[in-house]
Structure formats: C-alpha cells, structure tokens
Structure 1
C-alpha cells in the first residue's frame, strides 16, 4: 500500500525490507527531485488512540538515522531524507522529513 502510494507520487522504489544488523528499512525510494528517501511505514492495526507515526519515538529515530547514514554511504552524490508513511485503514499520510538528517 505504501509503495503503491509512492509510485503514484512519481517516486522510484529502489528496494524494500532492507536488513542491516542494526535495523531494517521498510522502503528505500528516490523522490522525483533526486533525493534518496528512507521510508518508515507505520500501520494502525488496533483501536489504539495514538496515530501510527507517533510510534516513531526517540529510539526509533536514532535507529532510522543510523540506517540513513548506512544508505548515505551508498549514495554519496544524493541528498538523503527520512519520511514516515502512516496508514490508518484507507487513509495514508506521508510525513516528509519526519526525522531530520544532519
């Protein structure tokens, strides 16, 4: 669902479910502007009051930054961004720059 959403927005899907020893990237994509995007996908599957993107806490942000740095080494010529896609039933919210890569 998230990959199809990004494709409809003219993103190129580079890979999905990329595993490292220290974490996993749900989707690695290329924005139409050339930015390499590490995408964290969060889905609401229960009656929890919180929104899915709220699960991206400080520990998860730190892990995403580490994953982005690993990807940055493979794409040194491209800017890197971390986005979160939040899915609740049929509603998809795309939060760009959800975690700031310095």
Structure 2
C-alpha cells in the first residue's frame, strides 16, 4: 500500500526544490517560512539574498496541472498583499533596508520556472 503525500509534504518538497535551484544560482538562504504574528498576516516561503545584496522574498507555488492558469496564476492580488505585508514586517527588524524584490518560483510537475521581480510592493 502506497501512502499519498499530504499537501504540506508536497509544498515542502516544492520549497526544497526551489531553494536548491536558487542556491545553485548563488543566492543564500536568510530565512524559510517567515510568518507574521497573529491572524490575518502573511507568510513568505523563502527569504534569500542575491549575490548583489538584494533581499529576495520568494513565493513558491506548486501545481500538478495547468487548470485555472497553473501555479503563476494562483498568486492573486490578495496573496501578493499578504506577501508584501509580511516582507514589510520582516524589514522592520533590520537596521538598514537593502534593495528588495519579489520573486515567484512555480513548480509544475517536473518543470521549475523562476520569475524574478514577478510583482512590486
């Protein structure tokens, strides 16, 4: 009997794969699964630093199929606002704010697509 993997396990596997890809491109992990305190806040899957010093907030989306536009289309304006909210909360902890950008890594089946500067704050 084969066990079905949970949505969380699939999401964690997609994040692992995205992180490996980004690290292979020279980015360094700052924090994983950053969450704001309280209800209704936001979460950031990966926070990484680009070799040029840019702090990159990465949303990882995984979809098995292309229905409804696939992984990239699942980043709604509401989801973007929550990511930006969490990023601002994270930046409050820093003494100096570096250049920042918001990337998306879309994992669809065996394909991985990295969209740099996918949206703005």
Do the structures match in fold with TM over 0.5?
yes
Please state which structure has a larger fraction of its residues in helix: 2
Please state which structure has a larger fraction of its residues in strand: 1
Structure 1, unmatched stretches of 5+, are: none
TM-score scaled by length of structure 2: 0.76
TM-score scaled by length of structure 1: 0.89
Q: Which runs of at least 4 in structure 1 moved beyond 3 Å after TM superposition?
A: none
Deviation of 1:69 (Å): 1.0
Q: Count matched residues.
A: 101
Deviation of 1:74 (Å): 2.8
Residues 5-35 of structure 1 show CA distances to partners (whole Å, capped at 9, x for unaligned) of: 0000000011111121312110010011100
Once residues 83 and 44 of structure 1 are traced to their aligned partners in structure 2, the CA distance between those partners, rounded to angstroms, is 17
Map residues 22-101 of structure 1 onto 2, 5 A cutoff. 22-46=41-65, 48-75=67-94, 76-101=96-121
Does the 8 A contact of 1:82 with 1:96 survive in 2?
yes
Cα RMSD of the aligned pairs, angstroms, is 1.4
Does the 8 A contact of 2:103 with 2:116 survive in 1?
yes
1:14 aligns with 2:30: yes
Does the 8 A contact of 2:65 with 2:109 survive in 1?
no
- Deviation larger for 66-75 or 34-43: 66-75
Once residues 68 and 62 of structure 2 are traced to their aligned partners in structure 1, the CA distance between those partners, rounded to angstroms, is 13
Larger radius of gyration: 2
Once residues 67 and 8 of structure 1 are traced to their aligned partners in structure 2, the CA distance between those partners, rounded to angstroms, is 26
Once residues 19 and 71 of structure 1 are traced to their aligned partners in structure 2, the CA distance between those partners, rounded to angstroms, is 9
